Amino acid sequence: MKLLLLFTYGVSLETWVKKGLLDREKRLYEELLSSGHVEEVFWLTYGADDLDFGEDLDRRIKVIPKPAIFKGKLFTFLYSLLMPILRARYFKEADVIKTNQMKGSWAGILASMLYGKPLYVRTGYTWSIFSRKMGKRSFLEEISPFIEWLAYRFARRASITSLADRTFVMKKYGVPGRRIKWIPNYVDTAIFKSSKSDRYPDRIVFVGRLTFQKNLFALFEAIAGTPYSLDLFGTGELEDKLRNYANRIGARVRFMGSVPNAELPGILNRYPLFVLPSLTEGMPKALLEAMACGIAVLGTNVPGIREVVRHGHNGWLVERDPQSIKKGIIHLMENPSLRARLGRSAREFIEENFSLKRVVSEEAKLLREILGKKS
């Protein structure tokens, strides 16, 4: 089987590398290849220089970059429409066309229509919900419900990482349950695991993008005036504003930048508590990885997080306001035995439900269904 993966609209392999995401994102495809479920993978990306960033990939993963002539936002969008024609060879060779997210799925729809190839729509979150909650108002964001409707109509199968979003999609777009599957984000539990590192006594950690969605201003306000400091791993458009805010309110925050995903287990194991104060989430990978390391986690009571965190059992749920976040942080930091119990349960929960091995098995099964093959 040859699988063609459409990168999210506008996203390049270079982006994955610079944000430290490549190590994580490639694992599914490496395992599908090594297990024999897939023989070759085509990655169609939006970076003109992406061949320079794919040198260390499995040779059976072929990176197909955006032609350098398509510069700027307008021409990038034009390329997304012309991709099925300009990259016809790869679409024709592929047995299945897969989207990495809904944004950019129109290239897969067009290719499926042109070449009769089955379309597999995979999403980590529901684009239209996310756009509405984040107040995004671009043309593409405005028509995202129509794109979703169209994609689910043409898809032979679909998968989504959130059970809540799966229910929403089935109801809103009339997608039969047999055609849309819950396949969660995965964690390589052989890498993300607990180690006997000395933990900082007074630091907590956040990993993720520095964006409005992550509710970091509230987190800064929550730790201000406490004996605890916060280490942020990640980058984003709010970094400068967040630095200024932390200085203004006296919150002790260190901006650590992005690190390769493979380095995160060693980093996470130095902290007693991982905090994710998001306003909204799909299925947050950083949270799953922290839980796999056996670290106590605190998250806000929003759909994508509460699907994973069971309050008082494998983590701690709080509301999105600074006072609730502060109360939760202080309670957990002052109770090491509670943190240890939550961390053990978190590790067990991830091993049972979110391991890479399990997700590879579910993905392979879905690909066989798409091609009409028996398990």
pLDDT of amino acid 115: 97
Any idea which architecture 203-353 has in CATH?
3-Layer(aba) Sandwich (3.40)
**For 101-227, where are the alpha helices, taking DSSP H only?**
105-115, 127-134, 139-142, 144-154, 163-173, 216-223
Question: Mean pLDDT lowest for which of 19-28, 93-102, 329-338, 366-375?
Answer: 366-375
The ranges assigned to domains in the chain are: 2-186+355-370, 203-353
pLDDT of amino acid 168: 94
pLDDT over 70 (residue 146):
yes
Rounded to an integer, what distance in angstroms lies between the CA atom of residue 161 and that of residue 304?
9
pLDDT confidence band for 130 (50 / 70 / 90): confident
Report whether 126 contacts 282 (CB < 8 A).
yes
Average pLDDT rounded to a whole number, residues 43-59: 95
**Does 2-186+355-370 match 203-353 in CATH topology?**
yes
Report whether 181 contacts 138 (CB < 8 A).
no
Residue-wise DSSP of 18-51: HTT-HHHHTHHHHHHHHTTS-SEEEEE-S-TTGG
Rounded to an integer, what distance in angstroms lies between the CA atom of residue 305 and that of residue 309?
6
pLDDT over 90 (residue 135):
no
**For 273-355, where are the alpha helices, taking DSSP H only?**
285-292, 303-306, 322-333, 336-353
pLDDT confidence band for 374 (50 / 70 / 90): low
Answering whether pTM is above 0.75, one says yes
**What does DSSP say about strands 316-318 and 296-300: parallel, antiparallel, or unpaired?**
parallel
Class of domain 2-186+355-370: alpha beta
pLDDT over 60 (residue 255):
yes
Which two tokens mark 253?
Answer: 């925050």
**What does DSSP say about strands 96-99 and 119-123: parallel, antiparallel, or unpaired?**
parallel
Give tens-digit pLDDT for 194-243: 988 789 999 999 999 999 999 999 999 999 999 999 999 999 999 999 99
pLDDT over 70 (residue 302):
yes
pLDDT over 70 (residue 120):
yes
pLDDT over 60 (residue 95):
yes
pLDDT of amino acid 119: 98
Which two tokens mark 86?
Answer: 């300009």
Q: Specify burial of residue 294 (Cβ count, 10 A radius: 0-12, 13-18, 19+).
A: buried
| Close Cβ partners of 50 (under 8 Å, ≥ 6 residues apart) | 12, 13, 14, 63, 65, 66
Residue 374: C-alpha distances to residues 1, 40, 120 (Å): 14, 20, 17
Query: What is the average pLDDT value for the chain, to the nearest integer?
Result: 95
Q: What percent of the chain has pLDDT over 70?
A: 99
